[in-house]
Amino acid sequence: MKEFLPGDIVAVEARPSLKALNWLVSPYTDRGHYFILGNKIKDTEDRVIYESLITSGVRIGKLSWYEGKDIEVFRVSKEVGAEVGKVEGELAASRQWRALMNLIKDPAVADYASYGPTALVLTVALFKGVSSNEGNFKSSYDIKSGLQSLIKQLGGVW
């Protein structure tokens, strides 16, 4: 397998029918699909990929799906790829980020002790957003008042 870095852009050779259409595009390329590489998948030699397909939209997959295909790798620089991997790792490791995503995904199972601080951060951010866009709301006073009350209930100081 080739040497890859997070942030690499990978191009897969197009199917014959798509290659014919590519003659209409300038400059011509025999590549038909592109994706971005993520970090290695734990305990494997495989890597995460981020791709967009006409038939299925944006999806996260595995590099091994394209094993044996004619691929070409494009890299901006080693530093950029390393930075992408670092940011991806920081996001995955961020406890507050994961808690926020879990709270948004399924708020009904969020217990107060675990998710109260995250809900407080989110409520303060919403209050600031409403305050800076008051002209876009018919009853910004009521919204802000309700958010202030929730901030106090969650243990915030107002």
20 and 66 belong to one structural domain: yes
Q: Which of 74, 93, 112 is the last residue of a domain?
A: 93
24: left (phi over 0), alpha (psi -120 to 50) or beta: alpha
Residue 143 is assigned to a structural domain of this protein: yes
Residue 59 three-state SS? strand
Q: Which amino acid is at 143?
A: I
DSSP run (H or E) holding 79: helix 78-93
- Could you list the pLDDT tens digit for every one of the 158 residues in the chain? 467 777 778 888 777 766 666 566 656 667 777 888 888 888 998 989 898 876 777 888 899 998 988 888 887 666 776 777 777 777 766 777 777 777 778 878 777 787 788 888 888 888 898 888 888 888 888 888 899 998 888 888 76
67 and 104 belong to one structural domain: no
Q: What is the largest CA-CA distance in the chain?
A: 64
81 and 110 belong to one structural domain: no
Virtual CA dihedral for 119, 123, 126, 127, nearest 10 degrees?
-170
Strand pairing of 9-13 and 71-74?
Answer: antiparallel
Query: Residue 153's pLDDT is what?
Result: 87
83 and 15 belong to one structural domain: yes
Answer for the pair 96, 118: CB distance below 8 angstroms, yes or no.
Answer: yes
Boundaries of domain holding 27: 9-93
Query: Residue 101's pLDDT is what?
Result: 77
Instruction: State how far the Cα of 61 lies from the Cα of 47, in Å rounded to an integer.
Output: 8
Residue 85 is assigned to a structural domain of this protein: yes
Residue 3 is assigned to a structural domain of this protein: no
Residue 131 is assigned to a structural domain of this protein: yes
81 and 148 belong to one structural domain: no
How many CA atoms, within 13 angstroms, populate the side-chain half-sphere of residue 45? 5
Query: Residue 112's pLDDT is what?
Result: 78
Answer for the pair 47, 3: CB distance below 8 angstroms, yes or no.
Answer: no
Query: Residue 22's pLDDT is what?
Result: 59
Residue 4 is assigned to a structural domain of this protein: no
Indicate the pTM of the whole model: 0.41
